[in-house]
Amino acid sequence: MEQALIRSLMNKDFYDDHRGIKCPDKLFTKDLRKIKTSVDYAMKTYNRTVTPDEVEALFMSSNPTMTTAQKQAYGDLFLRIKKESPLGKDIAQEVLSKLFQQVIGEEIANLGFDYVNGSQTSLEPLRNLLEQYGDDFIPTLNIDWADISIDTLLAKNDMEARWRFNIPSLTRKIEGINEGHLIEVGARPNTGKTSFHASMIAGTSGFARQGARCVVLCNEESVHRVGMRYLTASSGMDQYQIKENPKLAHEKYAEVKENVKLYDSTGRDMSWVESVAKSFKPDVVVLDMGDKFAKTGGFARQDEALKANAVHARMIAKQYGCAIFYMSQLSAEAEGKVVLNQAMMEGSRTGKAAEADLMLLLAKNPDVEGEEEQSPQRHINVVKNKLSGWHGKIVCELDYKTARYTA
């Protein structure tokens, strides 16, 4: 580590930022201190970045009385320095800061020990040390500030979505999604949550048909039941029609199958989801159900665990450049209602909701006594929308036989 720092100090910019008190000789071993003296001389004399060969030549010429053994030993040390790659400026600064704190910390400890055992009767040396080096305990940062030029801001805030929703009435209000977005989708049981993401991804003009690589992680229903929804959504055929004409179903399914990966994720947590995102680099990830990836240990309340889980999901979306659909249950308060709000999110009324870029709550018409079939009408409540700012309710229909949402 010290040899790598000596190599880094041969760079003029880095040296200028850390000369003098910020990089005292005491940070280095005896032999490296002597070499640093040659680095200091070179910077003062030539005022430019120098090479290890140049420093070695200066060192050898300024120490003519060395024995053959000493020359060999320092030659070997320079050889090791030459093999070191200069540390990146940010890494070198961090390493230097930690070495500095370690050395000064040892001095403070020694002064404290001397005071305790009576060999030092005043705290003045400790006070002087802290006054001399106090500011340097805080690492110097080299921050690459964000580009906020007009062109960059316009490009980064382009309203055009990379992956467009395939429900026209929804697309008119929210064009679609981009990498880094966390979309929370909530509904009561048997409303059509799984059909919703199957339709969005595998249905006509869905994300998979647009070229998005989609990963669906299932820990609620079996992966094969979810897979059947994707098959019916992609083919537009119900299960009976697929059995009667498997060749046609295969042809239609093949159009999306390569862009859709499903996995039974029962018992997995959000750290595992992060590994999936890192390893497979998907464009769209579906967590069905999102809350079941939460770790509950170490939290006093369930809502705290769910908030931390959503925070982790949002971080994954941003860090790995994907959009994440976080499927959730709604509380009993939402039962029988078509106008919903985010306080109806089960388990975490505000914490989990705070992390969403877009929150869609699905509702169905109340069951009518005596009716044999449920109404296919579905209500998509847009209750949080950082993407376009629009809030309201969109009415559409769910064909439960094909798992397709249509306008």
For 273-302, the pLDDT digits (tens) are 999 999 999 999 999 999 999 987 777 788
Q: Which of 105, 137, 169 is the last residue of a domain?
A: 137
Longest distance between any two alpha carbons in the chain, whole Å: 107
**Token couple for 11:** 């760079």
| Residue 131: predicted pLDDT | 66
Length of the chain: 407
Rounded CA-CA distance 347/326 in Å is 14
Specify the pLDDT at position 277: 95
Domain-located, residue 147: no
d(CA 304, CA 351): 7
The torsion angle over the Cα atoms of residues 289, 290, 296 and 298, rounded to 10 degrees, is 170
Same domain (yes/no): 402, 258: yes
Regarding whether 213 and 336 lie in a shared domain, the answer is yes
Run of H or E residues at 312? helix 302-319
Segment 139-193, tens digit of pLDDT: 455 677 888 899 888 777 665 688 999 999 999 999 889 999 999 999 999 999 9
**CATH code of the domain in which 367 resides:** 3.40.50.300
DSSP-derived secondary structure letter, 145: -
Give yes or no: residues 189 and 131 share one domain: no
Query: φ and ψ at 384, to 5 degrees?
Result: -145, 135
**Whether 254 and 402 share a structural domain:** yes
Same domain, 175 and 292: yes
- Count the helix, strand and coil residues of the chain and give each as a percent rounded to the nearest 5: 50, 15, 35
Report pLDDT for 364: 93
Model-level pTM?
0.66
Q: How much is the pLDDT for 133? A: 60
Tokens describing residue 280: 């497979």
Query: In the prediction, which pLDDT does 84 show?
Result: 83
**Residues 250 and 117 reside in one and the same domain:** no
Q: What angle do CA 171, 226, 336 make, to 5 degrees?
A: 65
- Answer whether residue 97 is part of any domain: yes
Q: How far apart are CA 242 and CA 248, in angstroms?
A: 8
Q: In which domain, by residue range, is 28 found? A: 2-137
One domain, residues 258 and 289: yes
Does 105 reside within a domain?
Answer: yes
Task: Name residues of the chain where pLDDT drops below 50.
Answer: 139
Structural domains in the chain (count): 2
The secondary structure element, H or E, covering residue 359 is strand 358-364
Amino acid at position 90, single letter:
D
Q: Assess whether 196 and 96 both reside in one domain.
A: no
Question: What pLDDT sits at residue 141?
Answer: 54
Sign of the four-CA dihedral 231, 236, 241, 246: negative
Please give the torsion angle defined by the CA atoms of residues 69, 73, 74 and 75, in that order, rounded to the nearest 10 degrees. 90
List the beta strands (DSSP E) in 94-239: 163-164, 176-177, 182-187, 214-218
Task: Determine, yes or no, domain membership for 30.
Answer: yes
- Cα gap 222→225, rounded to integer Å: 5
Residue 146 resides in a domain: no
Domain annotation covers residue 7: yes
DSSP-derived secondary structure letter, 365:
P
